[in-house]
Every structure is written in C-alpha cells, then in structure tokens.
C-alpha cells in the first residue's frame, strides 16, 4: 500500500478513541466491583457474631480471590462474584439498544460485566470438580456508571432502566441482598432417577471427594431465566 493511502492520523485517532473508551469503562467497572467487595466483607464482619448463635456451626465467610473475584460463603452455598477483564458492547437486538439514551451516544452501549455464580459449598470442600454452578445474575456497567441487571427472579427485575439508574452504594446493597435471598430459596432438588440409575464400579469405588457423579441444584432439570 502506498504511503499516501495510509491515513495514520485517522487510524491513530480511532485507536486512541476506542482504547480510551474501553479503559474508562474498565476502570469504572473495577471501582464498582471493589465496592461490591467492601460491602460483602463488611456484611460478614457485621453479622459474624449473630451467626454464632445458630444451633449448629454454619460457614459464614468472605474470601478475596484477587482483582477480579471474591467469594461469599454462607451455610451450604457459595456466591462467586466475578468481573470480566474485558469490555463488551451490548448486542444490537437487546432491548436497551432501542432507548434514546443509547441512540444519543453509542459509546454508552459499551459495558463491563460482573457475574454472580452460585455453587454448593461442598463442591469446593470435597473437590467435586464435576459439580455444576449457576449464573444467577450479571450486572452491566457503562462509563457513566449507568447499569442494568439480568438474572433470576428479582435479580433480573431489580434494575432495567439503563438510562436512568446509577450504580451507587444503595443499589449494590440491594443487589447483594437479592442474590443472597435468591440463593437461600434456590434449593437442591433430587436429580431424576434416570440420571443416576447406572454407575460404574470405578465410580462407586472412588471416594466421595473425587466422584465423577455430578451434583447441582437443578441437575437434570432445565435452568431457564423465566422458570425460577
């Protein structure tokens, strides 16, 4: 390609513009994620004493797993909050893309994502690597700290007004409360008989902590966004 046909100034401008946008979204999302960490850790510290009054010892722990992950363990459940390190654009067919808020400024459609996963505590305790976890919610955050949530039951219904909602401390506390409450009511169901009627000699001879038999709250059942 001849040098005259290579518009380096235009290209460099585009790289700087898109890169700066994604960096701003990333930094805003990381700030929000760190606030989630602080609120979760404070929740455990504040209520640790009350948990000691339970008739049986119950796990109640906060565990910081690094820049992009932390765990909140309570009773038989673990919530894992995971922030993706990349920035995503909301798909064109998503409902929020039809809003005037996005049409006025397309850069607002670039978001960081925080996922909330639910696992059984025993899956980690006994190293049951085949066990299943479930994404019960995710939070989309843009460079203006506007956000919306997707997920199970009230988690997905809490905040759908992307143009009008700022992810502040109160919203973070509400999301955390809803995630814990949903998890408490999301019980382990007996898997269908057809799923477990056959087992190999090797599987039955293997110790419980490394069995290849899967355990999951809805193992063998459909886990749909509109079914819980």
95, part of any domain: yes
Q: Is the pLDDT of residue 82 over 60?
A: yes
Instruction: Give me the DSSP letters along the chain.
Output: --GGG--HHHHHHHHHHHHHHHHHHHHHHHHHHHHHHHHHHHHHHHHHHHHTTSSS---EEEEE-STTEEEEEETTEEEEEEE-SS-EEPPTTSGGGGSHHHHH-GGGGEEEEEEEEEEEHHHHHTT-TT---EEEEEEEE-TTSBEEEEESTHHHHH---TTT-B--HHHHHHHHHHHHHHHHHSPPPPPPHHHHS---HHHHHS-GGG------TTTTS---TTT-
pLDDT tens digit sequence for 112-133: 999 999 999 988 988 888 888 8
pTM, entire model: 0.83
Q: What is the percent of the chain where pLDDT is above 90?
A: 59
Look at residue 201 and tell me if it is in a domain: yes
At 37 the pLDDT is: 98
**80 is in which domain, residue-wise?**
14-210
29 within domain boundaries: yes
Given this model, what pLDDT does residue 128 score?
81
- Say if 187 falls within a structural domain: yes
Specify if 4 maps to a domain: no
- In tens, the pLDDT along 134-146 reads 899 999 999 999 9
Residue 215 domain-assigned?
no
At residue 216, the pLDDT reads 57
pLDDT digits (tens, 9 = 90+) for 145-192: 999 999 877 777 778 889 988 999 999 999 999 999 999 987 766 666
Number of domains, the chain? 1
């Amino acid at each position: 390609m001849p040098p005259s046909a290579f518009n380096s100034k235009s290209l460099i401008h585009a790289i700087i513009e898109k890169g700066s946008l994604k960096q701003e979204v990333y930094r805003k999302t990381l700030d929000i994620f760190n606030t989630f960490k602080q609120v979760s850790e404070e929740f455990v510290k504040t209520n640790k004493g009350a948990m000691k009054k339970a008739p049986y010892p119950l796990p109640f722990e906060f565990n910081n797993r690094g820049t992009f992950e932390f765990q909140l363990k309570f009773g038989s459940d673990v919530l894992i909050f995971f922030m993706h390190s990349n920035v995503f654009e909301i798909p064109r067919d998503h409902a929020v893309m039809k809003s005037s808020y996005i049409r006025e400024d397309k850069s607002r459609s670039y978001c960081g994502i925080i996922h909330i996963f639910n696992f059984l505590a025993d899956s980690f305790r006994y190293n049951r690597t085949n066990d299943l976890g479930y994404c019960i919610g995710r939070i989309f955050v843009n460079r203006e700290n506007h956000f919306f949530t997707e997920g199970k039951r009230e988690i997905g219904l809490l905040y759908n007004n992307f143009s009008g909602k700022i992810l502040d401390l109160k919203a973070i506390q509400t999301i955390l409360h809803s995630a814990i409450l949903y998890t408490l009511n999301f019980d382990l169901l007996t898997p269908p008989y057809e799923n477990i009627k056959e087992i190999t000699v090797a599987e039955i001879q293997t110790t419980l902590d490394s069995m290849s038999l899967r355990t999951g709250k809805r193992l063998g059942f459909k886990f749909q966004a509109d079914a819980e």
